[in-house]
Amino acid sequence: MLDGRPAPRGRRLAQPLALRPVKLVARLAVLALAVAGVATACGGGSSSTTTTTSASGTPVVEWANGFCTSFASWQKQLTSIGKDVVSSPSKDSLQKAADDVKAANQKLVDDLHGLGKPDTQGGDQVQTSVEDLSTTLNTQLTDIQNEVQNASGITGIASAIASISASLGTMGTALSTTITTIQHAGVKSEMKTAFQQAPSCRGVAPSS
């Protein structure tokens, strides 16, 4: 109705701006869930006891401790990034999110590379897992950057948020898979024991 008069038949009125972000709100909800997923991707799991015959348990435990410390820092950063986008969705906030994800990923990869190879027969397998993780993080970052670069208007922002949500979920899954793979490396899964003993891994790495 315009000025109290019915709108002409066959003519649709422009949708009020306040109603357009419905899809955006839905995408923000998905992003919030993805952020929660990253925060819990590697937690939980049932406890179990595994003995180890390795005589170099201390270096292995130190490696696991360093891994979990780096992971926890990355996890905290990505959770904060996602919350910032949810609280203020815009082209600028998306660009900042992409930049922050890049910095967080790079720090994580640098930290993990800095740990070197754990002193275990499965050390090569552990390093391969870290390299695979690095590749996945870089691939997902590229996807985020491309979506953000092409985002325009509410529809574009909603699309970019959906991409970020999917990428965060993939990153969280990759971390969880990496930890599981690392835990089963070495003689009698001695890396699993190392993760159970490392103080920084409590509540971070699955123990099953």
**pLDDT tens, 105-154?**
999 999 999 998 898 888 888 989 999 999 999 999 999 899 888 888 88
- Residue 68 has a pLDDT of 92
In a domain, 20, yes or no: no
Residue-level pLDDT at 29: 46
Q: What is the largest CA-CA distance in the chain?
A: 87
State the CB neighbour count (10 A cutoff) for residue 170: 16
Quick check: is 175 in a domain?
Answer: yes
**Residue 144 maps to a domain:** yes
pLDDT grade for 157, boundaries at 50, 70 and 90: confident
Residue 100: the pLDDT is 92
Q: Both tokens of residue 17?
A: 């701006």
**142 part of a folded domain:** yes
pLDDT digits (tens, 9 = 90+) for 1-48: 545 555 455 444 433 333 344 344 444 444 544 455 444 444 443 333
Host domain of residue 85? 56-201
Q: Which of 25-34, 152-161, 167-176 has the highest mean pLDDT?
A: 167-176
> Is residue 7 domain-resident?
no
Q: How many domains, in total, are found in the chain?
A: 1
Structure tokens at 117: 């190879």
Please check whether residue 146 lies inside any domain of the structure. Answer: yes
pLDDT given at position 201: 87
Q: What is d(CA 55, CA 105) in angstroms, rounded to the nearest whole number?
A: 33
134 is a domain residue = yes
Look up residue 82 and give its two tokens: 């996602």
Please report, for the domain that includes residue 144, its CATH number: 1.20.120
Task: Specify the 3-state DSSP secondary structure of 5.
Answer: strand
- Judge contact between 159 and 26, C-beta under 8 A: no
Q: What is the reported pTM?
A: 0.72
Confidence class for position 205, pLDDT limits 50, 70, 90 = low
Q: Mind listing the pLDDT tens digit for each residue in 68-103?
A: 999 989 988 888 888 888 777 788 888 998 999 999
Measure the CA–CA gap between 60 and 80, rounded to whole angstroms: 30
Mean pLDDT of the chain: 74
